[in-house]
Amino acid sequence: MSREFSRSVWKVFRIVAATLSLAIVAGAVQAQQRREREPNSAYAARRTKLAAQADAPIILLGLTGREESSQTYLFAQEDNFYYLTGHNQEGAALVILPSGQAGAAWDGPKEILFLPPRNPRMEKWVGVRMGADDPGIQERTGFATVRTNGPDHLELRATVEKLAKLYPEFYTILPYRKENGGYPHEKEVVDWFGQAAPNVKLKDIRAGIGAMRQVKSPGELAFLERAIDLSVESHVDAMRRMRPGLFEYQIAARMVEIHAMGGSESEGYAPIVGAGIHSTELHYDSLGRKIEDGDIVVIDVGAEYAGYSADVTRTVPANGKFTPRQREIYEIVLGAQNAAIAAVKPGAGFCPANGGQLTKIARDYIDTHGKDLHGDSLGKYFIHGLGHHIGLDVHDAGDPCRLLEPGMVVTIEPGIYIPEENLGVRIEDDVLVTETGYKILSVRAPRDPAEIEKIMSQAAKQRAQAGSSDSRGSASPD
């Protein structure tokens, strides 16, 4: 799942829920900037570290705000740009010079943040923006040099043209090849460089930034833990509300509301609530089916907090009681997850070819602990990877086969999906790699099937005592 995908699919619930939380925080927030961010020193330290690794200038163009024309679009900066700047305003650009001998040829500033010119008329509509000439802009941004960057990046282009006389290569973000398509302005960016510095070779900086992003700072961990805590809260609430007669979207809408009321600015990805056959569809997003008695329901919903995304999945029986077959498959998935989590430690990894055995542990468990209706092993129904890094993107940047290190946060999410039985089970937790092993950050979301059934049974009794059935014949989400 990715945030680009979630914005195109999951807008209405998000805007309604966000309106509720905005009433709480409005007035204290600089327009367009995130409600919370790390201190400027954290972003500066990242730029310094990256500059020490580079042998050429790094030139990044942030997103423009034109990525989507929908009226419900909420601007979010390109992740790598944000990671280095903490700046969430459209139309910005960044120049970082290499440190040491590689940067000696340039006698100008070692880093420059470019901001678009202020537009007072437009700000009456969209809110106040930061400008390079604002009093105290250096302290606010953490950059000693902040310059105005007008239409067509004319000021940036002047700097690039000077640098091109000194350096034969630049680093930038080259075209993305991600799950849901390319970097929105990849051709525009490449063409712009071709005009400003036609003889300079462009090199991709993403691997260097991605490697840094895989190990989280204390501030990043705090944001992730808040996103995870909100997600856990909403998952427990979903267990309590779940019952036949509700629609999938009603469960998702309540979860999104909980996130927004807790300070989440967005979902980490489009919420997935799949009942019955939809439990076997990994990225099911229509959410239009009425939940029926006997269904099993996969709930994959994660909040985003200060730009950092949780990713939590639970699977529950619609009527509060697993059938024997549902429980059999559930316990196999849970056993595989427990076995894999137990092996999480520094030096472990997801890719067997790179020495990591976590995926093999989970697959071997599933392959040897159950059969399908034809007597075949269940391994063929585990159709995705075991896990991934989370951070500024729910599928965060970096080498997925890199061995685990302290400070990394990954998901462990085995699953079995059997369409012919309308039976899908996925259990997903967010796990911090520690110096000696692991810590399950989402541990407060129950995984034990007996505990899930107990929570759902108690909630059903409370509803019955309160007489909360909808008099019109359809279940209420309350």
CA 56-62-204 angle, to 5 degrees, is 35
Alpha carbons 433 and 213: distance in angstroms, whole number: 14
Query: Is residue 274 classed as helix, strand or coil in its secondary structure?
Result: strand
Residue 187 corresponds to which tokens in the numbers above?
């051709």
Are residues 239 and 107 part of one domain? no
Q: Give the total number of structural domains in the chain.
A: 2
Domain boundary among 160, 178, 212: 212
CATH of the domain at 347: 3.90.230.10
Q: Which residues pair with 58 in a beta bridge?
A: 96, 171
CATH of the domain at 152: 3.40.350.10
Q: How many CB atoms lie within 10 A of CB 414?
A: 28
Task: Flag whether 16 is in a domain.
Answer: no
Give the pLDDT band (50/70/90) at residue 424: very high
| pLDDT tens digit sequence for 170-191 | 999 876 444 444 455 667 777 8
Token pair 């999104």 in the structure block, residue: 256
Task: Flag whether 54 is in a domain.
Answer: yes
- Residues constituting the chain: 478
Contact 264, 303 (CB under 8 A): yes
Phi and psi dihedrals of 38, rounded to 5?
A: -75, 165
Domain boundary among 212, 247, 280: 212
Which string of DSSP letters, residue by residue, matches 406-465? Answer: TT-EEEE--EEEEGGGTEEEE-BEEEEE-SSSEEETTTTS---HHHHHHHHHHHHHHHHH
Q: How many CB atoms lie within 10 A of CB 66?
A: 12
Domain boundary among 164, 194, 212: 212
Residue-level pLDDT at 22: 36
| pLDDT tens digit sequence for 39-94 | 999 999 999 999 999 999 999 988 887 766 677 778 889 899 999 999 999 889 99
pLDDT at 17 over 70: no
Task: State the pairing for strand pair 415-418/423-426.
Answer: antiparallel
Task: Flag whether 362 is in a domain.
Answer: yes
Are residues 336 and 276 part of one domain? yes
Count the alpha carbons within 13 Å of 67 in the hemisphere toward its beta carbon.
Answer: 24
Residue-level pLDDT at 150: 82
The pTM of this model reads 0.90
Residue-level pLDDT at 471: 41
Alpha carbons 272 and 248: distance in angstroms, whole number: 9
Contact 416, 383 (CB under 8 A): no
Residue-level pLDDT at 291: 98
Q: Among 79, 95, 86, 92, which Cα is nearest to 171's?
A: 95
- Report, as an integer, the average pLDDT of 366-385: 93
Phi and psi dihedrals of 66, rounded to 5?
A: -100, 10
Residue-level pLDDT at 256: 98
Q: What is the mean pLDDT of the chain?
A: 89
Q: Which residues pair with 204 in a beta bridge?
A: 172
Are residues 243 and 208 part of one domain? no
| pLDDT tens digit sequence for 274-289 | 999 999 999 998 999 9
Full domain range(s) for residue 97: 39-212
What is the chain's Cα-based Rg? Answer: 24
Count the alpha carbons within 13 Å of 219 in the hemisphere toward its beta carbon.
Answer: 16
